[in-house]
A and B are shown apart, each in its own frame.
Chain A
Amino acid sequence: MAKTLDKDKEKYMVQYGEPVGMIAAQSVGEPGTQMILRSFHLAGIESTISTSGLPRIVELVDAKKKPATPVTYIYLNKSISKSFDKADEMQKKINEVVMSNITRRTIENFTKGTIRFLFNRQELELEGLSPKQVATRLEKHLEVDAKAEDEKSVTVHMHTKNLKLIRATTVKILKSVISGIEGAGKVMIRKDEKTDEFYLVAAGSNMEGIINVDGIDKSRITTNDIFSVYRLFGVEAARNALAMELKKTLDEQKISVNQRHLYLISDAMTASGTPKGVGRHGLSGEKNSVFARAAYEETVKHLIHAAAYGEVDPMKGVTENILVGKQIPIGTGSVRLTIKKEDMAKIKSKKD
Chain B
Amino acid sequence: MKTEVIDYIKFGVVNPDQIKKLSVAKLSVPDTYNEDGYPIEDGLLDQKLGVIDPGLICKTCGARAKTCPGHFGHIELVRPVIHSEFSKIVYMILQSTCRNCHRLMLSDEHLKNFGSNLGIAAVAAAAEEEEQGEGQKSSMLKKLKNIRKCERCGTVKGKLKFSAPTYFYIDEYKLKPDEIRDQLLKVSNDDLAVLGMDGKVSRPEWLILSYLLVPPVNVRPSITLESGERSEDDLTHKLVDIMRINQRLEQNLNAGAPQIIIDDLWELLQYHVTTYFNNETSSLPPARHRSGRALKTLTQRLKGKEGRFRYNLSGKRVNYSARTVISVDPNVNIDEVGVPQEIAEKLTVPFYVTEWNIEKAKELLQRSQYPIVINIISKDGKRKRIIDANREEILKSVTAGDILERQLMNGDIVLFNRQPSLHRVSIMSHKVKVLSGKTFRMNYCVTPPYNADFDGDEMNLHVPQTLEARSEAKYLMSPEFQIFSPRDGEVIIANNEDGITGMYLLTRDGTYLTKSEVSYLLSLAGIYDMPKPSKGGLYSGKDVFSMILPKDLDFEMKTGAGPFVVKKGRMIEGTLNKDTYGRGRNPLMTKIGEDFGPQELKRFIFVSSKVADAYVTLAGTTVGVKEYKTDEKLEQERSRLLNETFERCTQLIRDYKARKLEALMGYTLRESLERMIIAELNLVREKANVFLAKYEHEDNNAFQMAQAGSRGSILNIEQMTMFLGQQATLSGGRIKRGYYSNRVLPHIVPNDIKPGARGFVSTCYYSGLAPIDLFMHAVGSRSSEVYKALLTARSGYLYRRLSNALQDYCIDEDYSVRDANNNIIQTIYGGDAINPINVQLSKISAKKSD
The answer to whether A and B assemble together is: yes
Residues of A within 8 A of B472 (CB): 332
A22:B806 contact, CB within 8 angstroms: yes
A23:B834 contact, CB within 8 angstroms: no
One of B437-445, B483-491, B603-611, B736-744 at the interface: B483-491
A43:B678 contact, CB within 8 angstroms: yes
* Contact of A14 with B834 at beta-carbon distance under 8 Å, contacts A29-B798, A32-B799, A58-B794 already known: yes
Report which residue of B6, B89, B730, B804 has the largest number of chain A beta carbons within 10 angstroms of its beta carbon.
Answer: B804
* Contact of A54 with B795 at beta-carbon distance under 8 Å, contacts A264-B826, A303-B302, A310-B201 already known: yes
Docked pose: A261 CA to B802 CA in angstroms: 12
* Contact of A260 with B85 at beta-carbon distance under 8 Å, contacts A22-B803, A25-B799, A40-B726 already known: no
Residues of A within 8 A of B794 (CB): 32, 54-55, 58
B795:A313 contact, CB within 8 angstroms: no
Q: How would residues 291 to 330 of chain A score, 1 for a CB under 8 Å from any chain B CB and 0 otherwise?
A: 1101110011001101111111111111100111010011
A261:B846 contact, CB within 8 angstroms: no
Docked pose: A279 CA to B676 CA in angstroms: 41
* Contact of A296 with B835 at beta-carbon distance under 8 Å, contacts A309-B197, A334-B810 already known: no
B825:A14 contact, CB within 8 angstroms: no
B802:A20 contact, CB within 8 angstroms: no
* Contact of A312 with B678 at beta-carbon distance under 8 Å, contacts A17-B810, A319-B807 already known: no
B732:A32 contact, CB within 8 angstroms: no
Q: How would residues 814 to 829 of chain B score, 1 for a CB under 8 Å from any chain A CB and 0 otherwise?
A: 0101011111111001
Q: How many residues of B contact A (CB 8 A)?
A: 105
Instruction: Say whether B310 faces chain A, with CB atoms less than 8 Å apart.
Output: yes
Instruction: Say whether B787 faces chain A, with CB atoms less than 8 Å apart.
Output: yes
Q: How would residues 86 to 114 of chain A score, 1 for a CB under 8 Å from any chain B CB and 0 otherwise?
A: 00000000000000000000000000000
Contact of B825 among A189, A201, A271, A299 (CB under 8 A): A271
Instruction: Say whether A150 faces chain B, with CB atoms less than 8 Å apart.
Output: no
One of A4-12, A162-170, A207-215, A224-232 at the interface: A4-12
Residues of B within 8 A of A43 (CB): 675, 678-679, 682, 732
A263:B830 contact, CB within 8 angstroms: yes
Contact of B13 among A14, A292, A308, A334 (CB under 8 A): A308
B804:A296 contact, CB within 8 angstroms: yes
Instruction: Say whether B623 faces chain A, with CB atoms less than 8 Å apart.
Output: no
A71 nearest CB across to chain B (Å): 12
CB-nearest residue of chain A to B490? A256
A20:B85 contact, CB within 8 angstroms: no
Docked pose: A330 CA to B841 CA in angstroms: 26
Docked pose: A38 CA to B829 CA in angstroms: 33
Contact of A299 among B304, B486, B831, B845 (CB under 8 A): B304
B11:A29 contact, CB within 8 angstroms: no
A193 nearest CB across to chain B (Å): 13
Instruction: Say whether A349 faces chain B, with CB atoms less than 8 Å apart.
Output: no
CB-nearest residue of chain B to A306? B11
Instruction: Say whether A238 faces chain B, with CB atoms less than 8 Å apart.
Output: no
Residues of A within 8 A of B528 (CB): none
* Contact of A307 with B202 at beta-carbon distance under 8 Å, contacts A25-B807, A290-B11 already known: yes
Residues of B within 8 A of A291 (CB): 9
Contact of B86 among A13, A54, A304 (CB under 8 A): A304
Docked pose: A162 CA to B5 CA in angstroms: 76
Report which residue of B802, B829, B831 has the largest number of chain A beta carbons within 10 angstroms of its beta carbon.
Answer: B802
Instruction: Say whether A160 faces chain B, with CB atoms less than 8 Å apart.
Output: no
Report which residue of A5, A16, A287, A300 has the largest number of chain B beta carbons within 10 angstroms of its beta carbon.
Answer: A300
Contact of B806 among A256, A264, A303 (CB under 8 A): A264
Instruction: Say whether A257 faces chain B, with CB atoms less than 8 Å apart.
Output: yes
A272 nearest CB across to chain B (Å): 8
A37 nearest CB across to chain B (Å): 5
B27 nearest CB across to chain A (Å): 24
B809 nearest CB across to chain A (Å): 3
Contact of A12 among B6, B821, B841, B849 (CB under 8 A): B841
CB-nearest residue of chain A to B201? A310
Known: A29-B798, A260-B830. 6 other contacts (CB 8 A): A4-B846, A24-B809, A35-B791, A45-B664, A316-B822, A323-B314
* A-B residue pairs in contact (CB < 8 Å), sample of 18: A4-B846, A9-B832, A18-B835, A20-B811, A25-B802, A32-B795, A33-B422, A61-B798, A260-B834, A264-B809, A264-B826, A268-B809, A279-B801, A287-B808, A299-B303, A307-B202, A312-B8, A313-B10
What 8 pairs across the A-B complex have the smallest Cβ distances?
A188-B666, A21-B809, A32-B795, A29-B799, A260-B830, A21-B806, A310-B198, A4-B849
Residues of chain B whose beta carbon lies under 8 Å from any beta carbon of chain A: 5-13, 85-86, 89, 131, 196-198, 200-202, 207, 278, 299, 302-304, 307, 309-310, 313-314, 422-424, 472, 476, 486-490, 585, 664-667, 675-676, 678-679, 681-682, 726, 728, 730, 732, 783-784, 787, 791-792, 794-796, 798-799, 801-813, 815, 817, 819-826, 829-836, 838-839, 841-842, 845-846, 848-850
